[in-house]
C-alpha cells in the first residue's frame, strides 16, 4: 500500500462520513462544505475529539466554484501533490438530496440541489482520483426520471476509466437502530490495476451484521400504552437488542451527553402526544419510538417529530445521534439552534453503515496493492 489513503471530502456536512473513513485507516486532507454553520460544527466536533486539521484546510464554498479555481492550490494540483508523495487519493461525498427524495422537492437533476450531483461527478472526472464514493437517497434510483440521470452519471465515470459498483443498502444491516435506505456508488480507476477488470466486485455485505429481510420479519414488540417512565424489561425472545433504541440510548449514555439537554419543548398538543402509544410511528408527524425496536428514518425535516419512548417529550439531539449510531464522543456545536442541530444529524450518513463500506473499500485497495507487487 502507498504511504496513506488521502481523502478529499465534498458536501461534508458535520463530518459523519469523514469520521467513519478516518477511523478506518484513511486520512482526511481536504474538506468542502457550503453551509458555514455545518462547517463550524464539523470543525468543533473534530476539535473535541482531538482530530487533526486537514492539511489542505476547510473550504467553506460551493464545490462548483472551488472546482473551477485556478492556481497552485486548485484541486488537480492538490491531487497531484498527494500522488507525488506516493499516496492514494479518494473523493467521498453525498451531494444534497431533497430534489431526488419522494418526501422532498422531487425536482431532480435540474433542481437547485439536484444539479450538485452532476457537479460532483464532473469534479471526479476532471481530477481523476484513484477512487470515489457517492451516496444519496434511494429515490435517485427508484424513480424512473431520476434513474435515467443516475445511469447517465454511471456512464460518465465508466467513460473516464472507472470500474464501479452500486447498490441500495439499508442501515439496519450494519447495526444502525434505524430503517434507512440509501444508494451508494463506489468507483476505482482502472489505472490502479495491473490487469484492468471489466467490473468492480464489491462485497457490500462483507462487514454487515444483519440481513434486512430477517430483521424486518422478526416478531418485534407491538405498540403499548404510553406511560411516563414505565418499566419494560427487554423481551429477549427473537429480538436483536443491538438494533433497539434503548440499547443505543444506554450505550451512548444520552442523559449525560453534552447534547443531552438539547430538546425541543412541545408547545402545542401536549395532551395529544400523551395519547400516542409507545411504538406508534404511523402518524405523518409525531412518531413515538419503541424502546425495544429500531427507529424509523431519522430525517427531521418535513414536520417529522420523534417522541421519546417513555418520557413526555421529543427526543434529544444526543438521542438522535444515538439513532444514527454515532460514537459517544461525537458532539454538535452547542451554540446552534435546535432545528439546525437536528437537521445536521438527520442529513448525515449513518455512522456504522459508512464505517462498514469504508472497511470493505480499504480491503479492496489493499488487495490491488498485493496484486501489483
Torsions phi, psi for 144 (to 5 deg) = -55, -50
Position 312 pLDDT exceeds 70: yes
pLDDT for the residue 115: 80
List pLDDT tens digits, range 135-169.
Answer: 998 888 888 888 888 999 999 999 999 999 999 99
Could you give the percent of the chain with pLDDT greater than 90? 76
Rg (the chain; Cα; Å): 21
pLDDT category at 1 given cuts 50, 70, 90 is very low
Residues 333, 40: Cα–Cα separation, whole Å: 8
- Nearest to 218, CA basis, from 164, 286, 285, 293: 293
Residue 97: active-site member: yes
pTM of the model: 0.94
Q: In the beta sheet, which residues pair with residue 131?
A: 90, 188
Residues 326, 291: Cα–Cα separation, whole Å: 18
Contact (CB, 8 A) for 79 and 123: no
pLDDT category at 100 given cuts 50, 70, 90 is low
**Cα–Cα distance list, 359 to 81, 133, 363 (Å):** 25, 13, 6
∠ at Cα 263 (260, 267), nearest 5°?
160
Active-site residue among 97, 141, 171, 320?
A: 97
Residues 260, 262: Cα–Cα separation, whole Å: 6
Domain chopping of the chain, boundaries: 5-209+350-372
Mean confidence (pLDDT) of the chain: 91
Residues 281, 223: Cα–Cα separation, whole Å: 9
Query: 5-209+350-372 architecture in CATH?
Result: 3-Layer(aba) Sandwich (3.40)
pLDDT for the residue 126: 93
Position 99 pLDDT exceeds 50: no
Amino acid at each position: 500500500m502507498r504511504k496513506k489513503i488521502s481523502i478529499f471530502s465534498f458536501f461534508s456536512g458535520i463530518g459523519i462520513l469523514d469520521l467513519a473513513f478516518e477511523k478506518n485507516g484513511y486520512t482526511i486532507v481536504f474538506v468542502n462544505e457550503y453551509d458555514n454553520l455545518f462547517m463550524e460544527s464539523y470543525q468543533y466536533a473534530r476539535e473535541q475529539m482531538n482530530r487533526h486539521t486537514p492539511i489542505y484546510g476547510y473550504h467553506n464554498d460551493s464545490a462548483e466554484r472551488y472546482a473551477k479555481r485556478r492556481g497552485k492550490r486548485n484541486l488537480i494540483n492538490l491531487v497531484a501533490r498527494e500522488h507525488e508523495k506516493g499516496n492514494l487519493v479518494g473523493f467521498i461525498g453525498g451531494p444534497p438530496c431533497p430534489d431526488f427524495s419522494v418526501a422532498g422537492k422531487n425536482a431532480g437533476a435540474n433542481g437547485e440541489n439536484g444539479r450538485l450531483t452532476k457537479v460532483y461527478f464532473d469534479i471526479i472526472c476532471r481530477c481523476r482520483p484513484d477512487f470515489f464514493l457517492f451516496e444519496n437517497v434511494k429515490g435517485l434510483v427508484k424513480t424512473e426520471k431520476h434513474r435515467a440521470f443516475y445511469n447517465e452519471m454511471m456512464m460518465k465515470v465508466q467513460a473516464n476509466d472507472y470500474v464501479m459498483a452500486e447498490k441500495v443498502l439499508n442501515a439496519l444491516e450494519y447495526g444502525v437502530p434505524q430503517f434507512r435506505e440509501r444508494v451508494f456508488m463506489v468507483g476505482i480507476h482502472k489505472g490502479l490495476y495491473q490487469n484492468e477488470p471489466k467490473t468492480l466486485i464489491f462485497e457490500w455485505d462483507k462487514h454487515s451484521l444483519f440481513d434486512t429481510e430477517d430483521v424486518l420479519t422478526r416478531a418485534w414488540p407491538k405498540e403499548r400504552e404510553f406511560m411516563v417512565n414505565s418499566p419494560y424489561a427487554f423481551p429477549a425472545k427473537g429480538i436483536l437488542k443491538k438494533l433497539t433504541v434503548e440499547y443505543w440510548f444506554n450505550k451512548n449514555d444520552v442523559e449525560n451527553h453534552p447534547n443531552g439537554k438539547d430538546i425541543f419543548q412541545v408547545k402545542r398538543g401536549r395532551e395529544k402526544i400523551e395519547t400516542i402509544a409507545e411504538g406508534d410511528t404511523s402518524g405523518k408527524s409525531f412518531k413515538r419510538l419503541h424502546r425495544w425496536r429500531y427507529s424509523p428514518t431519522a430525517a427531521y425535516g418535513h414536520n417529522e417529530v420523534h417522541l421519546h419512548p417513555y418520557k413526555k417529550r421529543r427526543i434529544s439531539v444526543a438521542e438522535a445521534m444515538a439513532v444514527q449510531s454515532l460514537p459517544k464522543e461525537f458532539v454538535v456545536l452547542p451554540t446552534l439552534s435546535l432545528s439546525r442541530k437536528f437537521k445536521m444529524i438527520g442529513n448525515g450518513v449513518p455512522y456504522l453503515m459508512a464505517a462498514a463500506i469504508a472497511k470493505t473499500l480499504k480491503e479492496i485497495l489493499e488487495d490491488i496493492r498485493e496484486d501489483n507487487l
